[in-house]
Copies of this chain bind each other. A is one copy, B any other.
Amino acid sequence: MKSATLLSFTEENYLKAIYSLTQKHGSPETSTSHIAEQLSTKPSTVTDMLRKLADKKLIAYEKYRKIELTKSGKQLAILVIRKHRLWEVFLHEKLQFGWDEVHEIAEQLEHIQSEELITRLERFLGFPKFDPHGDPIPSANGELHAGQRITLSDVQINKSCEVVGVNDSSAVFLKYLQQVDIGIGTKIKVLEKISFDGSMAISLPRKVSISVSKKFADNLMVIL
């Protein structure tokens, strides 16, 4: 279960990016250009790294054809995500950082190498199950319970739901949520859906109803 060779920051970020993309798009495969976009780098740079990750058996790679995490590649990606989310909990719960501030710092902390550190951090935090954005925290052996979360867009008219997370963790989206007083646990009822542009009218506790865009509703995760 020990990874023989330690990975660089960069390699870890590639694994995480590939994992995120496969999750986001349903398919276990992804593309050079998507990875490049995700990491703000160039496709040619990605191709170089893909060859290296393939050499290390972290991805199954057939040029022009297939990019897919191997079992161990996926495992490592999940462990980085585990570290990232535990650090986010620490920053939010213990240091009182806002949920729009934690991601950037966790992006650095996730690469600290010490299994013992994460074991102890997790215990110190009381074995949290979710990060400040509602995303589940993988267990030490790499298990991740996705839950049956849907987007606000998928909620039918007149149904109520509860916010459990966000798809987009960018500070700009999180700040907007804060502004309209939506957070993890907020109850939302869908009043109306406009087929023209996918926008919807929703009601919030102790507030007049507000209108939100399709993009907004696509990025808010809820349970019924």
Residues of chain A touching chain B, judged by Cβ–Cβ distance below 8 Å, are: 91, 94-97, 101, 104-105, 108-109, 112-114, 116-117, 120-121, 124
Q: B108 and A113: CB pair below 8 A?
A: yes
Contacts of A94 in B (CB 8 A): 124
Q: How far is the CA of A109 from the CA of B87 in the complex (A)?
A: 12
Q: B112 and A108: CB pair below 8 A?
A: yes
Q: How far is the CA of A116 from the CA of B104 in the complex (A)?
A: 12
Contacts of A108 in B (CB 8 A): 112-114
18 pairs, A vs B, C-beta closer than 8 Å: A91-B117, A94-B124, A95-B117, A95-B120, A95-B121, A95-B124, A96-B120, A97-B116, A97-B120, A101-B116, A104-B114, A105-B112, A105-B114, A105-B117, A108-B112, A108-B113, A108-B114, A109-B109
Contacts of A116 in B (CB 8 A): 97, 101
* Closest chain B residue to A94, Cβ basis: B124
Q: How far is the CA of A116 from the CA of B102 in the complex (A)?
A: 11
Q: How far is the CA of A94 from the CA of B108 in the complex (A)?
A: 20
A211 to chain B, nearest CB (A): 35
* Closest chain B residue to A91, Cβ basis: B117
* Closest chain B residue to A104, Cβ basis: B114
A119 to chain B, nearest CB (A): 9
Q: How far is the CA of A169 from the CA of B91 in the complex (A)?
A: 28
* Closest chain B residue to A101, Cβ basis: B116
Contacts of A120 in B (CB 8 A): 95-97
Other than the given A95-B117, A97-B116, A104-B114, 9 more pairs (CB < 8 A) read: A91-B117, A95-B121, A95-B124, A96-B120, A105-B112, A108-B112, A108-B113, A109-B109, A109-B112
* Closest chain B residue to A105, Cβ basis: B114
Contacts of A95 in B (CB 8 A): 117, 120-121, 124
Contacts of A114 in B (CB 8 A): 104-105, 108
Q: How far is the CA of A162 from the CA of B135 in the complex (A)?
A: 50
Q: How far is the CA of A46 from the CA of B104 in the complex (A)?
A: 32
Q: How far is the CA of A95 from the CA of B121 in the complex (A)?
A: 7
